[in-house]
Structure 1
């Protein structure tokens, strides 16, 4: 009896082992199929987007569809600065409703006067973008006095321009507050209305220094690197949740000759506020996602990896 019981037990164990092997084969096969499908989809998407990028890159600007800015309410932070002034001028000439935000009231009034001489109406608000309560308060004022914002351009920025140990602690904090944290407050203030409308445009003015660390820019490069991460993550969130009507554009220019980088001696000539602002307007009209200045930088910078 004992021998018979042992024999039956041995047979049962072997059957169990065979079933386990079959289940493992099934499970492994399903996993392999799933992985193969995911890889196939990924390769197809890579091919599609690479081809799309190549075609759009080679297509002349005049042949691409451009949206109108007429009547669009555009909030521009850092509107009194070099690039901000040029952007305000081009937006006004495109018949947009230009809303300038800057902490420098005197400089902002000069920009307003110059634009009004050309017959353009401009709305000015003295805003400290590092103060989220101040941002939210003025955002409400803009909605009441001008209208729901269609386009937000986060252009405000500062730089210290010293080596790491020579940067005062308060300047490190200030650079992060202006260059990146303010983006959170402005986007939080205006994005909900864009979502309700099902359309809108968020523009982040970053920098090539956010993609490639630069001498005397440990504070500035870090904040601009953060803007890229913030922008790309938000872009992914919006697309994942089906908000296809919200366009996002990030612009990464080389050093700009605005006074921010006075004393800097780069290897290439600095960009001018005029050419940077012109490129930004073109990017907005064409709903471009990713812009570098110069253009070839986006093909060269990945080599650093």
Structure 2
């Protein structure tokens, strides 16, 4: 029985690898410009938009004509992001919000709807990392990691998904990590929180499908380590350029990509790991 299960599992992953190869071939033949959706005029809210990849996504979304709303605990960083967006001819608003505080999230969401309008694209990007072994990670840091990297997604999504359901239209992006698919030494709390973020996206996608809300798309982003200073000293493949990752995420939204691995080759590593 065990041998049969192993053979079946092996066959499943071989078929999955063939599917990915076929998908890549089809996408290579059909030009991306024919598959992109127009996000001009859409309201895009990015958590953690005051710096790093969050700020870059704000700028790239604005360049596509989206109206930017950035949420972050850094008031100064938020203001700078909006200044940069406007300097490039875009539209943007900044709100100082602690996404770990659900009451603050719901209050800020009400203000956004009143002052900007219905949110069409929600990018759950805010993230933190302790970067220590389990025994050396303070309890408060572990709790904070889960609150920012996973639990906050529930509050932000609940705050905006209702309007999306009414119109059966919207897009929810969950910025997780390849470390939400495979573990790494010295990042137990971070990996676990990203595994939770992956599960959040997968369960949300199934729930939306069961409710017939096929017009609400979700994108799970699983990048490798990004050169934002969060993983200084860690070793896991090549360190990715933040601008490259931000561009890939925005393109993933335009193309309605369900699961986005950055770079794409990471997904084959995931298959081998399984």
Using the size of structure 1 for normalisation, the TM-score is 0.81
**Alignment partner of 1:163 is 2:133:** yes
**Alignment partner of 1:248 is 2:218:** yes
**Aligned counterparts, 1:191-270, within 5 A:** 191-264=161-234, 266-270=235-239
Shift of 1:216: 1.1
In 2, the alpha carbon distance for the partners of 1:278 and 1:141 equals 29
What's 1:97 paired with? 67
What's 1:108 paired with? 78
What's 2:246 paired with? 277
Among candidates 252, 271, 274, match of residue 302 of structure 1: 271
Shift of 1:263: 2.6
**Runs of 4+ with deviation above 6 angstroms:** 49-52
What's 1:139 paired with? 109
- Tell me if structure 2 keeps the 8 A contact 1:104–1:126: yes
Q: What is the root-mean-square deviation of aligned Cα atoms in Å?
A: 2.1
What's 2:36 paired with? 66
- Tell me if structure 1 keeps the 8 A contact 2:225–2:236: no
Describe the superposition over 1:176-212 as per-residue Cα deviations: whole angstroms up to 9, x where unpaired.
0000000000000000100001110000000001101
Closer, same or farther: CA 268–126 of 1 in aligned 2, 3 Å: same
- Tell me if structure 2 keeps the 8 A contact 1:64–1:286: no
For the pair shown, which has the larger CA radius of gyration, 1 or 2?
1
With CA pairs under 8 Å and 6+ residues apart, which has the higher RCO, 1 or 2? 2
3-state SS, counterpart of residue 150 of structure 2: helix
In 1, the alpha carbon distance for the partners of 2:51 and 2:133 equals 24
- Tell me if structure 2 keeps the 8 A contact 1:80–1:102: yes
In 2, the alpha carbon distance for the partners of 1:179 and 1:269 equals 22
Closer, same or farther: CA 218–253 of 1 in aligned 2, 3 Å: same
What's 2:52 paired with? 82
What's 1:18 paired with? none
- Tell me if structure 1 keeps the 8 A contact 2:224–2:237: no
In 2, the alpha carbon distance for the partners of 1:228 and 1:52 equals 24
| Higher mean C-alpha deviation, range 277-286 or range 64-73 | 64-73
Aligned pairs, how many?
A: 261
- Tell me if structure 2 keeps the 8 A contact 1:69–1:96: yes
In 2, the alpha carbon distance for the partners of 1:124 and 1:268 equals 35
Using the size of structure 2 for normalisation, the TM-score is 0.90
3-state SS, counterpart of residue 174 of structure 2: strand
Closer, same or farther: CA 50–93 of 1 in aligned 2, 3 Å: closer
Shift of 1:51: 8.4
Unaligned runs of 5+ in 2: 1-15
Shift of 1:70: 0.5
Shift of 1:269: 2.5
Unaligned runs of 5+ in 1: 1-45
Closer, same or farther: CA 106–61 of 1 in aligned 2, 3 Å: farther
3-state SS, counterpart of residue 292 of structure 1: strand
